[in-house]
Amino acid sequence: MTDLVVRRLLIDLDTPIAARWNGGDAFRSAFFSALSMSFPVGEQYFMDAVRSGLKTLPEPERQKFAQEVHGFIGQEATHRRIHSLFNGHLAKLGFKNDIERRALKRLKANAHRDVRIHVAATAATEHFTAIFADWMLHHPEALEGSEPRLKTLWLWHSAEESEHRNTAFDIYQAISGNHAWRLRIFRYITVIFLTDVLRQTIQNLWHDDSLFKWSTWQSGFQLLMAKDGMFRGNYGLWRDYLAPDFHPSQHDASIAKQWLQENTSQFTVVGQAA
């Protein structure tokens, strides 16, 4: 069991952000903005899926997971709220959130499916968020030049994603989700997630008037496809999910723990005196 606490982030999100909020870099801003645009709908879905999965468990099992799921939901609810504020600034700058619209359409079309499918989709996406989160914490230069409050936002979210990496996976196993479906859904999520984020990134770049600039794609290549880039450098960790005996706890999460220990001045723990 993972002990999960809910943290309230002490940063200013009232002050507007710039279109190229990430160090003035067009690609890095557009890409992370695209990710942020996908979070509120995604995180609501993860909360619903894990909560529904928990409900199907027999009482003793349910009790075993109840506290962790409570923490998981609290963390995702906070991420959703904070990223909605961030996305509100993007909307005021004229960025159109199509990734959310497409996701809502897909969720509606798949709403009738078995709860195990939804928990598998959540566990698969959480694998992505966990490996990307660790990558972010190891590569804070991906946020180089951005305001400290925005760096804190992204690294705090990363640390919590890494921290709760086991929850959806454990619920999937507890509700007897099988290996074949876990892989099938993971492959599906991989294609959908990457295509959707890249589509939204391109749309953001178009709005920013930087889609056809050489420097934009140079930066994109550097961020994602360099040897230690966010996509290429994570291929091995992505592939680990395919192993029959994979468990998210096999990946080292110490950098997230360290970040949370070193940045206690950036948040308060909900339910605890400051």
Binding site for Fe ion (CB under 5 A): 76, 79, 161
Cβ 221 to Fe ion shortest distance, Å: 27
Query: According to the 3-state scheme, what is the secondary structure of 29-91?
Result: HHHHHHHHHHHHHHHHHHHHHHHHHHHCCCHHHHHHHHHHHHHHHHHHHHHHHHHHHHHHHHH
Shortest Å, Cβ 76 to Fe ion: 5
Q: How far apart are CA 136 and CA 133, in angstroms?
A: 5
Q: How far is the CB of 79 from Fe ion (least distance, A)?
A: 4
Cα angle 214, 218, 224 (rounded to 5 degrees) comes to 140
Q: Which is nearer to Fe ion, 79 or 118 (CB)?
A: 79
Rounded Cα distance, 242 and 233, in Å: 17
Give, to the nearest 10 degrees, the angle between helix 115-138 and helix 148-163. Answer: 130
Residue 264 amino acid letter: T
In the 8-state DSSP scheme, what is residue 269? E
Of 20 and 157, CB closest to Fe ion: 157
Sequence-distant (6+) residues with CB within 8 A of 126 are 46, 161, 164, 165, 167, 168, 169, 248
* Closer residue to Fe ion in complex, CB, 19/121: 121
Q: Which is nearer to Fe ion, 51 or 213 (CB)?
A: 51
Min dist CB 161 to Fe ion, Å, is: 5
Residue nearest to Fe ion (CB): 79
Tokens of 144: 């180089």
Q: Which is nearer to Fe ion, 19 or 256 (CB)?
A: 256
Closest CB 126 distance from Fe ion, rounded Å:
5
Q: How far is the CB of 52 from Fe ion (least distance, A)?
A: 16
Of 82 and 174, the one with the shorter C-beta distance to Fe ion is 82
